[in-house]
Structures are given as C-alpha cells and as structure tokens.
Structure 1
Amino acid sequence: MKETNYHHGDLRNTLIENGIELINAEGIGGFSLRKVAARCGVSHAAPYSHFKDVQELLAAMADHVTSRFTESLQRSIDGDYVPQKAMNRLGTAYIAFFQQHPAYFPFLFFHSGIRIQVDGEVEGEPPYPPFAVFRETGMRLFRSQGLPEQMDDKMLLAFWSLVHGVASLLSSSGIRYSGDWQEVWQTILQSGGNVHENDRT
C-alpha cells in the first residue's frame, strides 16, 4: 500500500490528487474508490466521508483541475496589458501550469470528459472556463488588430495549437528534454508565433 502523508482535514484533496494519478496510470477501467484509498494509505471506507461514489470523485477531480487552470490563466492577464502581450503571457501561463502539474494534462484532455467548442458554444452548455479566458483574450487581440471576425476561430486555433503542443510534449512521460520548455515557447514567439507579425508588447 502506498503511504501518503497529508495534513488533517486535507484528505479530500489527497484523494483527488491520487485519483488523477491512478486514472492516468490505469484508465477508467482500473479506477475505483477502493484503489484510490489504497494509494492514499487510508481505509477503504475513508473516501466515503467526502464522496458518495466514484462518479462524485471523478467530478471533483475535473472541477479541481479546471478551477486551478482557470485561476492560473486569469491571473496571468490581470493588469493593464496590451492585447498581444496579454495573449503571450496567457501562453506562458498555460505552459507553466502543466509544467507544475504534468499529471493534469492527460487527465484533463483524455479522462475528464471535458468538451471544448472552439467555434461558438454548445446550446445549453456553458463554455469550458479555461478556454473561455483563452477565447476572450484572443478576441480582444483580434479586434485590436482589426482582423475580420470570420478569421477568429482559425486564428484562435492556430495560437492554441502552438501553446497546447508545447504543453502536450512536456507532459508526455515518454518525452525527455533537458532544456527549458519556457525557452522553447519564447523561441516560438520570437520566430513568428505571435498571433500578429508585429510584436506589440
């Protein structure tokens, strides 16, 4: 049994973090409250003081990562930044978040069940909060540059592909790189990865 130290009263977050690691390692078919409890070094009954069933734990895991991701992105653009600089800072924060929490990337994009509608919104379904921050920042940049609205989705996807690609690489367990991933991102920006060719920082 894996021994996990946690502060009294923090079992809920410990279950969430270990749940993320477990589902990444074994997939949904190998996921259960009993296995998560074993990873935490607590009794099989302990998780039920926080979650009524495995679905509630899964939902809490998704909410946990989503709220932290949204907060990180929003914090990166808080302040009086010109649109291009805000977009670049958002990309830096996106990568930094998954550098700090590499297990979150495979969980979020392969196991959490999130849906992101790039071109518009799904009726009756609120936009995914981190992407809403990303999209709003992109729209502000595109309008400041006078780009036609019909280009919005393609431009947003182009920028997202760059930053998400770096995050995907650094989060992949089979990929080793001894350099600084943020320097990779800065190289992309310097070589034309800005949404507009003119650097308005």
Structure 2
Amino acid sequence: MKEKPYHHGNLRNQLIEAGIKLINSDGISSFSLRKVAAECQVSHTAPYSHFKNIDELIAAMGEHVTGQFMDTLHASVQGLEGKPEAITLLGQAYIDFFIEHPQYFQFLFYHSGIVIDLDNYEADSYPPFALFRSTVYEVFRSSGLPESAFPQHLITLWSMVHGITALLTNNGVRYSGNWRDLLELKSIF
C-alpha cells in the first residue's frame, strides 16, 4: 500500500473545506473522517491530529463558516447603526457572501443543524440572524415603526434576502438581471 505524502500547509482548514464539500455532495449519513482524509490526500489518521471525531469536525465546519459570515456582515454595517442604508448593505453583504461561497449556504442551511427561531425573538439565535435582527430592529426604532410591526417586517426582509440568496446559489436557477435591483428595501417599512 502506497503511503500518503506528508501534508504541508493548513491541513485543519483544508479538512474543514473538504468536509463541507463532501457533506454537500454525499450527505451526512455517509460522511466520515476517512473520506475527508482521502479528499485531502492525507493518511486516514491525519484528521485526528485536529479533530477528536466527526462531531468535532462538523462543529468546526460550522464555526469556520459562521466566523467568516459574521465578519462580512459586521463590516457591512460598521458605523451605520440605526441608518436605513444599514439594512440594504447588510442584505447585500449577506447575498454577496454566499454568491462567493455557495457551498457554505448549502452546508449551513441544509446540513449544519443551525436553528433560527422566528417565533421566539428573545431566544438565542444563530449569530448572523441575530445580527440581522438587531440591525433591522435598530433601524425600525429610529424610523418610528410601531414595535408590534417589527417581527412581521423582519421576517419579510430576511425572507427576501435569504430567498434571493437561495435562488442565486442554486445551480439550476438562472437570472440574467442584476439581483441588487431586487433588493429595494425602502418600500417594506
């Protein structure tokens, strides 16, 4: 049996990215550290130097994507707290992030097990959604929208942004127009 070469570089991140690719293509039921190692062309024991087990790798995959996503979202609204353009820029950053990384959208919303509770706004929620909610609510407050209308308008805005993202990250959906033209948020509130 031919021995796998020693791996140079950032193996931890390569294992994470390979794991995302494999879960997206094959599903979680056939996912294994051995398959991730094969995808990275390293020995089947190499992943164990970074992850105790498959659950730890899946958790790291979620953290890896969420961290990048949060950085992008935070940067988009920096210094715009309470201003209406924060909603548009946040929505654009949300969509742009997943257009650049469509594999992350599929992994996060179909395989990672994240929970976004639209009925319980006091509950801890997935951090990017919590940031979206707090940004939108701050704009709603500064615009004078009645607080009782916040949840419905939040769901409308998030559905629009998330829906556009779902369409644009789906290989089977074609759109020749500019998606930014669809993200006209001024008429929502």
> TM-score by structure 2 length?
0.90
1:82 deviation in Å? 5.5
User: Does 2:186 match 1:194?
Assistant: yes
Which of 164, 169, 182 is the equivalent residue of 1:166? 164
What is aligned with 1:63? 63
2:179 to 175, 184, 190: 184
- Aligned match of 2:111: 111
Which amino acid in 2 is paired with 1:120? Y
The SS at the match of 2:102 is coil
| Cα drift, residue 195 of structure 1 | 5.6
Alignment partner, residue 120 of structure 1: 121
What does the per-residue CA deviation read over 1:9-66, in whole Å, with 9 as the maximum and x for residues that have no partner?
4000000011001001111111000001111111101100000100000000011111
Structure 2 distance, partners of 1:188, 1:78, is: 20
- Counting matched residue pairs gives 182
Q: Which residue of 2 aligns with 1:12?
A: 12
Quote the offset at 1:184 in angstroms.
1.6
TM-score normalized with structure 1 length: 0.85
**Where in structure 1 are there 5+ consecutive unaligned residues?**
1-6
Aligned pairs for 1:32-51 within 5 A: 32-51=32-51
Partner residue of 1:137 out of 121, 135, 138? 135
Match of 2:144 in 1: 146
In the TM superposition, residue 116 of structure 1 has moved relative to its aligned partner by 1.1
Identity of aligned residues (%): 52
Q: What SS class does the counterpart of residue 174 from structure 2 fall into?
A: coil
Tell me the CA shift for residue 196 of structure 1: 4.2
> In the alignment, which residue of structure 2 is the partner of 1:99?
99
Structure 2: gaps (5+ residues):
1-6
